[in-house]
């Protein structure tokens, strides 16, 4: 076999080996806790991706964006391992030597543990994740090398045609097993993320308080951390005279506050579902920081989370806004894992990116520390914009002529909502809606109206809100990057007899 043909065959077998390695990688993640390379490389990839590119992907793909990224990384891994197989096969065709497949598999292992894992912040050999990490990766690459070694058998001389056909089907079978293993371990999660996110479970007008199971969930992670509440500690340090370390029990023993707060993701589209309202219980952030006696030179609080997330807030804002808390309960129960158990920062009036989940430390510092998303160009203030949406009707609904219920929510952070108006003629005229009293000064309002169309036809419905200062939400359309989306939510309905 010439080198070109050998390289082509080697690439095919390398892809097969790559599928096996990826499947076993996810199995090791589920059974042994190994961090998949796709997850480890997520943050480095996001760090080099221009903010406007990421913003475009989020605006366009929403929850599917994270799935597309993970699938893309899987494809990149498989192709890279295919290329490694092609190089091995070309070398093998020209100058074979014993155990060559395992030697080339060892090269792949070295690339992962000496280059990719350190780049991902897991340390040389991946030892930051534990001593077994390089061993587990070695086992995965041994499996990859064994697949390459199996490709030599069909090339052996003296093999009858029937045996050749059987052996030729081997790579398809092996690859199918690897692909099936990955699918079994990941497809269900991908489907849930795209087709069945928590907020998708709500239909019709929103309840004033969002059920925990329907509270939107967004994070930068493919797999969120699971924190042991008994072992967790919150450290208060930096420019302080009395550094503190608090257990969860100690945090819960401090004087607490309970407040109803609406949270919105900065990547939420106009009229989007990534906005929810909950009753949060926790400790005032200003009280926590006061426990550590901050020094006069400190002017900012820097937060760090278990998943590597970072944020910061000026002490002036913290001390002037008592509603900023470290929360440990949502709707009367401990925070679910997806919402930051054991504790998270809650900053009413700002998009969710300002409140780290899985909080680990708070340090008093002299300057803004540079938050995770701010470093990619997102607005460091992240003050929520006045927004409103239709919950009913949905875009494209067809109604029979008669009275039609229209309803939705409006939100302006800590500025409150003074008025909601709707239009049934594309914004040429406006009618005030009925606005229910909010559950708190920090929450959204529910609005509603009954509308009877004048006749059959297509109608364009638009909604807008005015905040407590008298400022009406912007009609100018803007994407979520860098400071949150804006514009009027519009739906189209058809009315017939």
| Structural domain contains residue 203 | no
Return the structure tokens found at 403.
């009275």
- Phi and psi at 70, nearest 5°, equal -65, -45
121 and 239, same structural domain?
A: no
Question: Do both 224 and 327 map to the same domain?
Answer: yes
| Joined tokens for residue 27 | 């199995």
Cβ–Cβ contacts within 10 Å for residue 367, how many?
Answer: 11
Would you say 389 and 450 are in contact if contact means Cβ atoms under 8 Å apart?
Answer: no
Please tell me the predicted confidence (pLDDT) of residue 377. Answer: 86
Q: How far apart (Å, rounded) are the C-alpha atoms in residues 273 and 205?
A: 12
Tell me how far apart the alpha carbons of residues 26 and 108 are, in angstroms, rounded to a whole number. 18
How many other CB atoms are there within 10 angstroms of residue 208's CB atom?
A: 16
Q: Is residue 207 part of a domain?
A: no
Residue with the two structure tokens 């005032």: 284
Report if residue 461 sits inside a domain.
Answer: yes
How far apart CA 191 and CA 485 sit, in angstroms, is: 26
- CATH number for the domain spanning 243: value is 3.90.420.10
Residue 475 in any domain: the answer is yes
Q: What pLDDT score does 451 carry?
A: 96
* Same domain, residue pair 424 and 362: no
Quote the CA–CA distance of 307 and 223 in Å, as a whole number.
10
Which of 311, 346, 376 is where one domain is finished? 376
Asked whether residue 22 is domain-assigned, the answer is yes
- Domain end point (choices 132, 163, 195): 195
HEC-encoded secondary structure of 410-444: EECHHHCEEEEEEECECCCCCEECEECCCCCCCCC
370 and 239: one domain? yes
Q: Are strands 387-392 and 398-400 parallel, antiparallel or unpaired?
A: unpaired
Q: Is residue 381 part of a domain?
A: no
Q: CB-based contacts of 111: which residues, under 8 Å, 6+ apart?
A: none
- Kindly report the backbone phi and psi dihedral angles of residue 23, in degrees, each rounded to the nearest multiple of 5, phi listed first: -60, -45
Q: Closest by alpha carbon to 278, among 331, 235, 323?
A: 331
- Nearest-angstrom CA–CA distance, 335 and 281: 10
Does 420 share its domain with 325?
no
Same-domain pairing of 106 and 225? no
Indicate the residue among 195, 229, 264 that finishes a domain: 195
Answer whether residue 370 is part of any domain: yes
Helix axes 132-150, 64-94, angle to 10 degrees: 60
Residue by residue, pLDDT tens for the chain (497 residues) are 577 888 888 999 999 999 999 999 999 999 998 999 998 888 788 777 777 777 777 777 777 788 888 899 999 999 999 999 999 999 988 888 888 999 999 999 999 999 999 998 889 999 988 999 999 999 999 999 999 988 875 544 444 545 444 444 556 777 788 888 888 888 888 887 787 788 888 889 999 999 999 999 998 887 889 999 999 999 999 999 999 999 999 999 999 999 999 999 999 999 999 999 999 999 999 999 999 999 999 999 999 999 989 999 999 999 999 999 999 999 999 999 999 999 999 999 999 999 999 999 999 999 998 888 898 889 999 999 999 999 999 999 999 999 999 999 999 999 999 999 999 999 999 999 999 999 999 999 999 999 999 999 999 999 999 999 999 999 999 999 999 999 999 999 999 98
Give yes or no: residues 101 and 233 share one domain.
no
**Do both 360 and 396 map to the same domain?**
no
Which value, to the nearest 10 degrees, does the dihedral of the CA atoms of residues 269, 270, 272, 275 take?
A: 90
- Only one residue has tokens 């042994």, namely 32
Q: Which helix (H) or strand (E) holds 365?
A: strand 359-365
| Residue 460 structural domain | 387-496
Is 183 a domain residue? yes
What CATH number should be reported for the domain holding residue 454? 2.60.40.650
Checking DSSP bridges between strand 489-496 and strand 457-467, what pairing results, if any?
Answer: antiparallel
Does 415 share its domain with 477? yes
Which has the closest alpha carbon to 267: 67, 480, 46? 480
Token representation of residue 139: 């086992």
Q: In this structure, are 238 and 293 located in the same domain? A: yes
Kindly give, in sequence order, each residue whose CB lies less than 8 Å from that of residue 149, ignoring residues fewer than 6 positions away.
101, 102
Count of structural domains, the chain? 3
Burial label for 200, CB within 10 Å (0-12, 13-18, 19+), is middle
DSSP for 277-343 reads EEEEEEEEHHHHHHHT-B-TT--EEEEEETTS-EEEEEHHHHHH-TT-EEEEEETTEEPPGGGTTT-
Contacts of 189-198 with C-beta under 8 Å, sequence gap 24+, read: 190/67, 190/70, 190/71, 193/63, 193/64, 193/66, 193/67, 194/63, 194/64, 194/67, 197/63, 197/273
CA–CA separation, 494 vs 400, rounded Å? Answer: 9
- Whether 34 and 78 map to the same domain: the answer is yes
Tell me the torsion sign for CA atoms 161, 166, 171, 172: positive
Euclidean distance between CA atoms 330 and 327, whole angstroms: 8
| Strand partners for 278 | 261
My answer on whether 371 and 425 are in the same domain is no
Check residue 164 and give its pLDDT: 44
């Amino acid at each position: 076999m010439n080198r070109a043909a050998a390289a082509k065959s080697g690439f095919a077998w390398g892809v097969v080996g790559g599928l096996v390695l990826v499947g076993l990688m996810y199995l090791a993640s589920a059974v042994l806790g190994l961090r998949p390379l796709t997850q480890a490389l997520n943050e480095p990839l996001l760090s080099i991706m221009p903010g406007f590119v990421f913003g475009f992907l989020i605006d366009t793909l929403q929850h599917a964006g994270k799935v597309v990224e993970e699938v893309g990384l899987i494809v990149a891994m498989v192709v890279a391992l295919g290329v490694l197989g092609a190089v091995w096969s070309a070398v093998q065709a020209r100058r074979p030597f014993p155990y060559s497949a395992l030697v080339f598999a060892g090269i792949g292992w070295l690339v992962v543990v000496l280059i990719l894992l350190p780049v991902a912040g897991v340390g040389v050999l991946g030892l930051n994740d534990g001593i077994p990490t390089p061993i587990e990766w070695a086992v995965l690459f041994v499996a990859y090398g064994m697949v390459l070694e199996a490709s030599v058998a069909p090339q052996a001389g003296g093999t009858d045609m029937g045996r050749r056909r059987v052996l030729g089907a081997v790579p398809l079978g092996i690859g199918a097993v690897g692909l099936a293993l990955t699918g079994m371990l990941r497809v269900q999660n991908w489907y849930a993320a795209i087709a069945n996110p928590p907020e998708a479970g709500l239909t019709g007008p929103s309840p004033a308080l969002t059920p925990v199971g329907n509270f939107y969930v967004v994070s930068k992670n493919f797999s969120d951390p699971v924190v042991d509440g008994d072992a967790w500690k919150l450290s208060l340090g930096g420019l302080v005279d009395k550094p503190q370390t608090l257990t969860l029990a100690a945090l819960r023993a401090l004087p607490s506050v309970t407040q109803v707060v609406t949270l919105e993701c900065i990547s939420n589209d106009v009229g989007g579902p990534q906005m929810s309202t909950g009753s949060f219980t926790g400790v005032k952030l200003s009280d926590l920081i006061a426990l550590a006696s901050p020094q006069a030179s400190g002017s900012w609080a820097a937060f760090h989370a278990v998943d590597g997330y970072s944020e910061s807030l000026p002490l002036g804002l913290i001390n002037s806004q008592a509603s900023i808390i470290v929360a440990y309960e949502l709707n009367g129960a401990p925070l679910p894992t997806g919402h930051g158990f054991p504790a998270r920062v809650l900053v009413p009036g700002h998009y969710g990116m300002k409140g780290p989940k899985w909080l680990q430390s708070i340090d008093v510092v002299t300057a803004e520390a540079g938050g995770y998303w701010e470093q990619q160009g997102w607005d460091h203030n992240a003050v929520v914009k006045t927004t409103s949406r239709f919950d009913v009707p949905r875009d494209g609904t067809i109604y029979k002529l008669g009275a039609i219920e229209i309803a939705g929510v409006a939100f302006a952070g800590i500025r409150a909502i003074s008025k909601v108006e709707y239009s049934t003629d594309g914004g040429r005229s406006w009618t005030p809606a009925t606005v229910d009293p909010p559950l708190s000064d920090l929450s959204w309002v529910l609005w509603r109206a009954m509308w009877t169309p004048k006749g059959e036809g297509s109608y364009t419905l638009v909604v807008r809100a005015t905040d407590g200062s008298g400022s009406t939400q912007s009609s100018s359309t803007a994407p979520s990057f860098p400071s949150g989306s804006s514009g009027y939510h519009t739906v189209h309905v058809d009315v017939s007899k």
